Chain A
Amino acid sequence: MTVIESPRTPARPAPKRGVNLEKWGWIYMRASGVVLVVLVFGHLFVNLMVGEGVKAIDFGFVGGKWADPFWQWWDVLMLWLALIHGANGMRTIVSDYTNPGTVQRILKGALLLSTIVLLVLGTLVVFTFDPCPAGSPAELLPSFCPAA
């Protein structure tokens, strides 16, 4: 008789004590997903639907948005929730299609490394952004810059 294991059979049973990280990962995907629906739909609406849409996006557009802490925090929250959500989803896919071993460790390590690098980069960019860099052509800058 052929025995096919239930698809929900875990490769390793959940730990009996301490924190069950896989459970919290499962909860994170759902909690972040609900918030991301709001954040991403708002992002798409403001950047693609309002006014000239994608045609209006340039340095001045970004400078105008990030002059407001509301949009800085909107974008940083979206960055963290979305990148961790995406990387954790990719981790699930790597686990599904590779066996435990060197290849799987390399793929998961690459996911972890790229996630950390991009979270640090993106957060620094949003909070250290200078909308009026000295020496730039006035016509490329937001209208509130002294040079513009």
Chain B
Amino acid sequence: MSATTTRTPIAPEKPATHKPGGTLYRGREGMWSWVLHRITGVAIFFFLLVHILDTALVRVSPEAYNAVIGTYQTPIMGLGEVALVGAIVFHAFNGLRVILVDFWSWATRNQKVLFYIVIALWVVTMLGFVPRHLMNVFSH
């Protein structure tokens, strides 16, 4: 092998006799679980910062709190709440999957199956939430 090495994960032209370690993105269930956990985690973190500040307005005045919380009740923010709840539900179920994979050898072996169970539970939960929420948002 040449002295210069590449850090970009390009596919080898012929099967390598020494496969590189786990630093390459492999595009399988485990990678998507990790990527989605990160993205949803960051999104939820920044919403939490804003949400603590907007809730703190109850200490300013009823008018100030109602003015800001009223913006959460518009159709566009209603759709944003669907995205937020979707992120939270995925992060919650996938987080439980991570715990199972960490502590239970069966789950470690079957982490791919568990990823699809997370997706299925996410779909079921969102089917319960989204219609109800959109009815609240788009009705008067």
Contacts and interface: CB of A to CB of B under 8 A. Distances in A.
Report whether over half of chain A's contact residues are helix, strand or loop; otherwise say mixed.
Answer: helix
A54 B62 contact: no
Contact of A59 (B20, B66, B96): B66
Which A-B residue pairs are the 9 nearest by beta carbons? Answer: A53-B136, A59-B62, A86-B45, A140-B62, A4-B21, A33-B95, A2-B5, A37-B92, A125-B56
17 contacts: A2-B18, A37-B92, A37-B96, A40-B92, A44-B88, A48-B85, A48-B136, A53-B132, A55-B137, A55-B139, A82-B48, A86-B41, A128-B59, A129-B59, A136-B63, A140-B63, A140-B66
B59 A125 contact: yes
Contacts of B21: 4-7
Contacts of B61: 133, 136
Nearest to A48: B133
B42 A118 contact: no
B136 A93 contact: no
Report whether over half of chain B's contact residues are helix, strand or loop; otherwise say mixed.
Answer: helix
Contacts of A60: 62
B62 A4 contact: no
Contacts of B53: 118, 121
Contacts of A49: 129, 132-133
Interface of B: 1, 5, 18, 20-23, 38, 41-42, 44-45, 48-49, 52-53, 55-56, 58-59, 61-63, 65-66, 69, 72-73, 78, 81, 85, 88, 92, 95-96, 98-99, 102, 129, 132-133, 136-137, 139
A141 B69 CA distance: 15
Contacts of A21: none
Interface in A20-45: 30, 33-34, 36-37, 40-41, 44
A59 B58 contact: yes
Contacts of B72: 54, 57
B103 to A, nearest CB: 8
B11 to A, nearest CB: 15
A114 B133 CA distance: 31
A122 B52 CA distance: 6
Interface string A89-126: 11001000000000000000000001000100110110
Contact of B99 (A30, A53, A133): A30
A1 interface: yes
Given A48-B85, A125-B58, 17 more contacts: A1-B1, A2-B5, A2-B20, A6-B21, A30-B98, A48-B133, A54-B72, A57-B72, A58-B62, A58-B65, A58-B66, A62-B55, A86-B41, A86-B48, A118-B52, A121-B53, A129-B58
A44 B45 CA distance: 16
